[in-house]
Amino acid sequence: MNTSARQFKEQATLLTQDLRHRQLIQTAIGKYEVVRDRVRSRYQDWNAARQAAAEIKWEAVNHLDEHLTRFATQLEARGAKVHWASTGAQAREIITNLLREKQARSIIKSKAMTSEEIHLNAALEQAGFEVVESDLGEFIVQLRKEPPYHIVFPAMHLTRHQISELFTRELGSAPTADPEELTLIARRVLRQKYVRADVGFTGANFAIAETGMISITENEGNARLTAALPQVMVTLLGIEKILPRLEDLALFLPMLATVGAGQGLTCYNSFYGGPRRPGEPDGPEEYHVVLLDNRRTELLADAEQRDSLHCIRCGGCLNVCPIYRNVGGHSYGTTYSGPVGSVITPHLRGLLEWKHLSYASSLCGACTDICPVKIDLHHHLLQNRRNASASKPSRLERLAFKVFAYVINRPGCYALVKKVGRMAQRLHPLVKGSRLDPAYAWTKTRDLPPIAKQTFKEYWSSRK
Amino acid sequence: MTEREKILGRIREALSVAAPRPGGAHAESTPAAASVMAQSSTPRSWLPKVGEGYAERLELFRQQSSDLKTELRVVASTGGFRDELRRLRESDGWKKIGAHAGTLVKGAIADLGLPVCWTDSGYKVEELENCDAGITECDALVAQTGSVLITSRSAGGRALSVLPPHHVVLARRSQLLADLPEAFALIRQRYGTDYPSFISFVTGPSRTGDIERILVLGAHGPRKLTILLSEE
């Protein structure tokens, strides 16, 4: 077992036993589920909307070269600068050089999973810049020096008491158990950072090819301030964020809000198409957009799983996943957790190192059902299992299937095995849960249902 | 070869193998989206329903506003804006406001008797931040979602509507649209040849649920959103 797999297993084992943690997650997701279902029930035809969204993303991703070119051309026509980065290292270098060139000192950031993906904060801090996350949840996890727990709700795993202690320790504020008070503390601290920041950094939820705009979905207003106050604005986004037309947002914005947060529309959905225009009173003088590949083109090359690039990062599949809800976001050890993270991480970071995530699933298909762009998530997990075992077959597994095939093809032999199995099961309690048990890995936490006293065939022939 | 060419090259190579259409084996028979999205009537039949006529739209907008904790005040004419602003000045103890030189805004704040930070030709961030409210016009209101559509051109820039703790929107009856497809059609019709650098749908006052999923208003943006709608 490799390091990532071992860590996943250890963390998952710890957290599934942590009842307090599970309770916290169940409560948070429980609240979300109620509002999500209420908002979704208002749609006249949710499934038709999903199918249309899937087809629009299909069109975008399957003509990605044309749309990206158009996006860049349109943005540049309005005075923005578009940068292209094949790897995370290149993106970090582009951004660091830009900040140096601008003689920037402090950077205010609004939430961007792509920046987590390329570990941007660490690189910028190492280069001597002050980087402050402005989304409340991201601000909290940044103070705790840990990655976001969830792609939409970064601090879902923390109680208000933990956050109060954190603020007291890191910001010197008085302890309080009032979420409103805590929010105010963060607001006050961050306002000062906004006024001083030289550069505003954002991610993007969508990139509109036709008009050359990025779209940011948020609730707090931190991204709006990030895009309004500093003199330089930088946006980092994955190349798959493309939508062909501006009107597509009439569908994607409400669907993202519905599945992502249980809202009809989030508080602010803002489109930015360049630096301040002539006649406009504010906004950055310079606007830079960094387009990131970072092995997305490898995922694109896998036609079978290409639709996983349709993902709009709503986090819906995390919320419904029985595995995520029990092992939590940090156990995965990946930027993108939950079902979609388990599907794409092996492509982005190496199949053999991350194939264990393909088994972090009950294959119940809840992820596929909730996905607003109809990504066939649970089948992709199976395909990753198949691909992993084809590239590095397990000898034990092969042997097991050979034995199984031998037995099942010989009715007499199969009947005998059943009889022996039934007798052996009576002796099983003697070794169950101990190392002597040949099925220890399975039986240490599970019961095997008793084999029926009579097979169906035996019952059928005896019933006359 | 530039990185741009390398990335586009990798994309083209990857796309040389076709991917199955979405929905897979269980695909429902829906016409191709490209043709569907061209006419804005189809997404309309999937999204939440909006009634016909002004009265029904207003009722829905009122309901949405109440759910979102937006304060909606309907006044008989644009003259009513003045009374409402005076009321807010008194109840909230306004000392200073931010505004832009729109026709509705200028008329509404003329006799308010408060110092004004005008954003139209640049302003000091500290000054705008110390305003008690930002008063703006808008491009449209959207009944379906309870949203206000603003742009850097219609609402005095990017910050006026988000930096002060209270955002007050002035709107007319004719600006109340049914749904998002209609709002996007308006954006294209009004700005299609020259888009403002900032366009935003504002849906309720700023909020967060990042601490135990408990709703808190006024995370970074305004804690209060007031919409004054003139029926004139």
> What value of ipTM does the predicted structure carry?
0.94
Please indicate if any CB of chain A lies within 8 Å of the CB of B22.
Answer: yes
pLDDT above 60 (res B19):
yes
Q: pLDDT tier at B41 (50, 70, 90 boundaries)?
A: low
Give the E-state strand segments of A187-345 in sequence order. 199-202, 206-208, 213-218, 232-238, 242-243, 268-272, 286-292
Chain A contact present for B209, CB below 8 A: yes
Q: Which domains does chain B have, with CATH numbers?
A: 53-230 (3.40.50.10420)
| Whether B11 contacts chain A with CB within 8 A | yes
Residue A62, domain member (yes or no): yes
What 8-state DSSP symbol labels residue B122? -
- Is residue A28 one of the residues assigned to a domain? no
Cβ separation A275–B216 shorter than 8 A: no
pLDDT for res B182 = 96
List, for residues A351-403, the tens digit of each pLDDT value: 999 999 999 999 999 999 999 999 999 999 999 999 998 888 888 888 999 99
Residue A434 has what pLDDT?
82
Examine the fold and report which residue of A266, A294, A322 is the final residue of a domain before the chain moves on. A294
Give the start-end residues of each E strand in chain B.
Answer: 71-75, 97-99, 116-118, 133-136, 140-142, 147-151, 166-172, 176-177, 198-202, 207-208, 216-217, 224-230
Among A294, A324, A346, the domain-final residue is A294
Identity of the amino acid at B100 = H
Q: From A5, A8, A4, select the one nearest A329 (Cα to Cα).
A: A8
pLDDT at A464: 72
Structure tokens at A91: 């993106």
A271 to chain B, minimum CA–CA distance in Å?
A: 5
Residue A27 lies in a domain: no
Q: What is the pLDDT of residue A433?
A: 76
Domain with A450 in it: 400-462
**Residue A345: inside a domain:** no
In the prediction, which pLDDT does A249 show? 98
Which CATH number do you get for residue A100?
3.40.50.10420
Same domain flag for A259 and A111: yes
Mean pLDDT computed over B41-45 = 81
Give the domain-ending residue among A294, A328, A348.
Answer: A294
Closest residue in B to A180 (Cα) is: B216
How high is the pLDDT of residue B35? 47
- What is the rounded distance in angstroms from the CA atom of residue A176 to the CA atom of residue A163? 9
* Whole-number Å distance between alpha carbons of B198 and A273: 7
Q: Would you call B167 helix, strand, or coil by DSSP?
A: strand
Question: Between the CA of residue A366 and those of A50, A312, A339, A360, A369, what are the distances in Å?
Answer: 15, 17, 10, 14, 5
Chain A contact set for B17 (CB, 8 A): 301, 303
Q: What is the largest CA-CA distance in chain B?
A: 68
Specify the residue for token string 């050089």: A97
Can you list the residues of chain A whose pLDDT is less than 50? none
Residue A433 lies in a domain: yes
Residue A326 lies in a domain: no
Residue B40: pLDDT band by 50, 70, 90 thresholds?
A: very low
Give the number of domains in chain A.
2
Cross-chain residue pair B14–A297, CB shorter than 8 Å: yes
Q: Per the structure block, which two tokens stand in for B226? A: 């007031």
Q: What number of C-beta contacts closer than 8 Å exist between A and B?
A: 324
Determine the length of chain B.
232
Lowest mean pLDDT among A184-193, A259-268, B15-24, B173-182: B15-24
Q: Are residues A425 and A288 in the same domain?
A: no
Nearest-CA distance B21 → chain A (Å): 7
pLDDT score for A394: 84
Per the domain annotation, does A116 fall within a domain? yes
Instruction: Say how far apart CA A180 and CA A287 lie, in whole Å.
Output: 34
The mean per-residue pLDDT over the stretch B130-147 comes to: 98
A245, A222, A237: which is closest to A288 by C-alpha?
A237
Q: Are A270 and B198 in contact (CB under 8 A)?
A: yes
Query: Are the Cβ atoms of A51 and B22 closer than 8 angstroms?
Result: yes
Cα–Cα distances (Å) from A460 to A454, A457, A463, B100, in that order, read: 10, 5, 5, 86
**Across the interface, do B157 and A283 touch by the CB < 8 Å criterion?**
yes
CA distance A211 to A72: 10
Mutate to test the interface with B, among A26, A247, A378 (most CBs of B within 10 A): A247
Considering all CA atoms of chain A, what is the largest pairwise distance in Å, rounded to the nearest integer?
Answer: 93
The pLDDT of residue B24: 59
Residues A127, A275 share a domain: yes
First to last CA, chain B: 61
Q: Which residue of A has its CA nearest to B34?
A: A56
CB contact under 8 A, A52 and B220: no
Q: What is the mean pLDDT of residues B49-67?
A: 96
* Partner residue facing B11 (CB), from A64, A140, A281: A64
8 A C-beta contact, residue A221 and residue B219: yes
pLDDT exceeds cutoff 50 at B34: no
Instruction: Report which DSSP code applies to B213.
Output: T
CB hemisphere CA count around A398 (13 angstroms): 6
Residue A393 counted as domain residue? no
The rounded distance, in Å, linking the Cα atoms of B155 and B139 is 8
